[in-house]
Structure 1
């Protein structure tokens, strides 16, 4: 994460505390330095921004983030100020801030805000990855197949082979979670997509509750991911005609074709014979 504040003591205090609880921190002394750092470090996901800074203040920095970075990558800003005013809070939220903290910031409040920001970043990251998948699959479909792809049999998997491959991927992800016991690798949207791809290949419609369980996160969190994917048109959701108390979900046809294309090519790459040494 990136801490942007013109006060050196504040930067050091934030960094010391956040490092002690496992966050990796970078700092910037003003908005201009922050923009340079964000341009160089695309992996930064959370930005803690002080409002009162010289040259480019916090509100101007928020505006720049919204124009230059946030449309293209997951980025979650949190605003901090020593003089909180209602109009400033409203302006910050409208400019894309996820939260607004008043100095002096209590450690508990900061950790709560960062936890929410991390969850939001995970959801945004999954959204961007899915868009990239859909766009990439469309690009692949519009070009000619290379000789290597023909040799590897891209897109020629049988339905049963593809079902087996998807099940293996799901088992591998579960095994990884069992080993590392960590949420740092969680990617609920992708787990949901794998589960629904398997169901579509088998001709099954899945209850929303059931596919949420595949995400490996709390049910309420998983259902938010299902809603986001539904809102994006990647998942179709409707009321179960046999049980009005639940809803069913299935991958949209275009999303299913993208997943099949992607997984077929992934299988081809993973099973390709090693290239001869030169």
Structure 2
């Protein structure tokens, strides 16, 4: 009887070890599988989307009166997102030209975007008349979120 209980224990232990080995092999095989491809847009995708939105906005101005689409702040935000990727500093003069609005209107929008903490302004230490404009962290995150949503819809 003692032999039977030892044999039963060995059989039971063998079955349990076999189950553990199968589980281990399954986990090893799963770990070796390549990670699933991400559906998250890349940085390049986001910049290309911003460029496409800017191009579409300019295109419609060729065919329709520009006062129908007067959103200088939005044009500036798009231009700043693209310029950030191109590592091109954007000064007020360049940003005003991107807004397709009068200088005073554009400057008011720049001030408003700054108050909303969507852009940062940095005075050039060598020429204090020159002010560099860039998206703030919050502005960049907002633009990324919007562009990502456009790509994933």
TM-score w.r.t. structure 1 length? Answer: 0.40
- What residue number does 2:8 align with? none
Could you tell me how far apart the structure 1 residues matched to 2:97 and 2:117 are?
21
Could you tell me how far apart the structure 2 residues matched to 1:197 and 1:210 are?
14
Name the Cα RMSD after superposition.
1.8
Secondary structure in 2 matching 1:241 = coil
Could you tell me how far apart the structure 2 residues matched to 1:193 and 1:163 are?
12
- Which aligned pairs between 1:1-278 and structure 2 lie closer than 5 A? 153=39, 156-269=40-153
Deviation (angstroms), 1:174: 0.4
Deviation (angstroms), 1:173: 0.2
Could you tell me how far apart the structure 2 residues matched to 1:262 and 1:194 are?
11
Higher strand share: 1
Question: Would the aligned equivalents of 1:209 and 1:223 in 2 still touch at CA under 8 Å?
Answer: no
Q: Count residues with an aligned counterpart.
A: 117
Could you tell me how far apart the structure 2 residues matched to 1:263 and 1:242 are?
35
Could you tell me how far apart the structure 2 residues matched to 1:243 and 1:257 are?
30
Q: Could you list the per-position Cα deviations for residues 124-167 of structure 1 after superposition, in whole angstroms to 9, with x for gaps in the alignment?
A: xxxxxxxxxxxxxxxxxxxxxxxxxxxx93xx222222222111
Deviation (angstroms), 1:217: 0.7
Question: Would the aligned equivalents of 2:117 and 2:138 in 1 still touch at CA under 8 Å?
Answer: no
Secondary structure in 2 matching 1:214 = helix
Could you tell me how far apart the structure 2 residues matched to 1:230 and 1:243 are?
21
Kindly name which structure, 1 or 2, has the bigger radius of gyration based on alpha carbons. Answer: 2
Secondary structure in 2 matching 1:260 = helix
- Structure 1 unaligned spans of 5+: 1-151, 270-278
Question: Would the aligned equivalents of 1:207 and 1:248 in 2 still touch at CA under 8 Å?
Answer: yes
Structure with more relative contact order (C-alpha pairs < 8 Å, separation 6 or more)? 2
Secondary structure in 2 matching 1:255 = helix
Deviation (angstroms), 1:235: 1.0
